[in-house]
A = this chain, B = another copy of it.
Amino acid sequence: MDTKQRILDEALTLFSEKGYANVYVGEIADRVGIKAPSLYKHYKNKRAIFDAIIDEMNARFAEQAKAMAVNGSDAAADSAIYQQMSEDHLLGIGRQFFLYFLHDDYNRRFRKMLTIEQFADPELAGIYTKLYVDDPMLKTDNVEIMTLHFYAPIYYLLTICDRDPAREPWALETLDAHIKQFNRLYGRKKK
């Protein structure tokens, strides 16, 4: 990875742990293995590093959305989507989503950074809401509440683990129990 990208990477790590204001350029430079002034050959100033992270993220998620769009836009089938899935399939989807977002380094750091910075910058609040509210929710027909009932507990468990990673085993148990119960309440297929 080139220096310019490594700066972004280390900066994101630090921002996600301490927040933008608590991270000093010298700290980022240290981690990259250069001195602070060298960093200014790659980025105009500290804010430009932050903005570059946001830009990169927007690009990544746009790409992800494009890939999703292939199979995710069949609105007519939405209302039946949960009933048609087997419990095992639902469990798989839940676990996959949960573990991916929890452990994928980029997602985890970016989510934590947004959590910290959301109230200071309306643009960041908008990005957060888009990623964790608007994008995941199926709003067609009457499935909005069903999706809320499926998704909100998963989101809730995710934020708990972000705060306290030691709770992950409990969260995974709870996640499974949640989805089984969800399937009992909403589902038709039993296996």
List chain A positions with a Cβ less than 8 A from chain B. 16-19, 21-22, 112, 115-116, 118-120, 125-126, 128-129, 133, 144-146, 148-149, 152-153, 155-156, 160, 162-164, 174, 177-178, 181-182, 185-186
Determine whether the beta carbon of B152 is less than 8 Å from that of A156.
Answer: yes
Determine whether the beta carbon of A119 is less than 8 Å from that of B129.
Answer: no
- With A145-B177, A156-B148, A177-B145 as contacts: A112 and B119 at CB distance below 8 Å: yes
Determine whether the beta carbon of A153 is less than 8 Å from that of B164.
Answer: no
Determine whether the beta carbon of A120 is less than 8 Å from that of B178.
Answer: no
- 5 closest A-B pairs (Cβ-Cβ)? A21-B21, A152-B156, A152-B153, A152-B152, A125-B163
Determine whether the beta carbon of A174 is less than 8 Å from that of B153.
Answer: no
Q: Which of A128, A156, A185, A186 has the most CB of B within 10 A?
A: A156
- With A21-B19, A120-B22, A152-B153 as contacts: A133 and B145 at CB distance below 8 Å: no
